[in-house]
Structure 1
């Protein structure tokens, strides 16, 4: 695979690669070194984390291979080390771990306020899969810290979302656009790589796939109950492959291992 040559702080092009005008590359992971993901760029979530999802997150399910980040969901069975008989906590009430996967994030390593965030990836769209490319604000309790779902997929639908706080703890105000895969009118859509992009400035967040605008959020409308705006602060990036849970559906009939393949993640910002 022929790849563009990139230097942080500058943009160098070759072949057909054309960077966004008025932006410069400030951070990227091209996943060109085989092995574990770069620890200077990524940390890992661990265990059962959110949304009642089925997977146990662990670092072992992510690797760099042939220029791609491979996040692999596996069907396996082992004891849940958190298990407590009679517990009402979904993380502790399960006797076994039945699926594993990975969630990588740049929290405490890299965060950015405004810019163009871009990922080229291929999704596994089997039943039960819930891959995502998203951001969270560095300060505040969810959802008042702000959430941006640049790409979220489940149940034959691509979602482009933003969320912020309300006057109730853990209750978000959402701006969501759902795009069924059938609207792309391409029976081979899921077999191809696609580019997801966020353009985020002081006024708007615009979310795209393959240059098709999916959702626009006006930041004048994204105020938390206390008047703060979670999209006027730095955000960090997450990439993960979840299973089941609140929205993902039933993965029991799907083939494993399942793969979320990421070619690159890049962040650009406007030059001063």
Structure 2
């Protein structure tokens, strides 16, 4: 599939660390979803509050808390989060409609709960904010939840972290990621994308993974370069720390994003770093814009995708309907800024390049 993107699109479009274009590679067609069970059969138990866990301690490194959501109420804070409504599949042939319903998005017991269900649902093709409107109606066989800070909170540089418990199974694809509030350098991916955490098919067959528990890695990624299909990306996978069954626990996923460097962490353990010599935007020269496209305001997103190319082209391959319903549990989301050097954040960052 070739996805035709407009350079005026808002930054709401694509994620996927191994995709060569926003629409993905054309390596093989995705299998057709089997007929799902009726919605009343899809039941998820109410989650307990997250157990206590270690937090990053920003005062030791000069970071200060600038924005957060601890999800302590009984409903989503609409002053912090916008709910995306769309059924187009994110350019990756995902199988869900994102809805603004408690069936898919819930705040309970101190947790944000994004829930994916087998359910026939018809909704708008494109999300709110799409330049040509929401398009026609699309019917999908799954629903799920996606929240974002678009038009409510965005930042250039800082530390961005979330404590999360992830779903398992072939076909699951949760993500914590960032997109630019404006397409300053053009459409995806010329204006960039920062994937803080993606996890596909946890627990599924994995010949490259350590141990015997199957897929036990998350990944970080950076998308940049030209407008698709001239986009570029880099990504790195990381075994979730904590040994056997660690994928069943809560973990803190974070990036430190500075002017000259971006660092990726799980549980405050640095596993990957890139510096500004390793990225660029095809819209401007490196000499005049050495940090582009990652020199503009980005907003945060959390979602649970159902299937899609990154999931269905990896591990055991294909899509397993019995892995749904599924859910992502988010204990908190926190944004830190640097106390020492203002905008660039470099003086607070981990010593990845020393």
- TM bucket by the smaller chain? 0.7 to 0.9
CA distance in 2 between counterparts of 1:39 and 1:185 reads 35
Give the match's secondary structure for 1:254. helix
CA distance in 2 between counterparts of 1:99 and 1:2 reads 27
Indicate whether 1:38 and 2:77 are aligned: yes
CA RMSD of aligned residues (A): 2.5
CA drift at 1:256:
2.9
CA drift at 1:65:
0.4
8 Å Cα contact 1:132/1:151 also seen in 2: yes
1:156-214: CA deviation from partner (whole Å, max 9, x where unpaired):
34111011122x53432111112356xx5722112100001111111100001112222
Between stretches 63-72 and 48-57, larger displacement belongs to 48-57
Unpaired segments of 5 or more residues in structure 1? 5-14, 83-90
CA distance in 2 between counterparts of 1:80 and 1:24 reads 40
Give the match's secondary structure for 1:248. helix
> How many pairs were matched up?
249
CA drift at 1:246:
1.3
- TM-score, normalised on structure 1? 0.83
8 Å Cα contact 2:146/2:303 also seen in 1: yes
8 Å Cα contact 1:138/1:145 also seen in 2: no
8 Å Cα contact 2:168/2:323 also seen in 1: no
CA distance in 2 between counterparts of 1:34 and 1:262 reads 14
CA drift at 1:245:
1.2
Give the match's secondary structure for 1:259. strand
Other-structure match for 1:268: 336
Other-structure match for 1:12: none
Give the 3 Å change call, closer, same or farther, for CA 80–202 of structure 1 in structure 2: closer
8 Å Cα contact 1:142/1:170 also seen in 2: no
Give the 3 Å change call, closer, same or farther, for CA 125–205 of structure 1 in structure 2: same
8 Å Cα contact 1:162/1:217 also seen in 2: no
Give the 3 Å change call, closer, same or farther, for CA 80–24 of structure 1 in structure 2: closer
Other-structure match for 1:88: none
CA distance in 2 between counterparts of 1:206 and 1:179 reads 13
Indicate whether 1:59 and 2:127 are aligned: no
Other-structure match for 1:175: 234
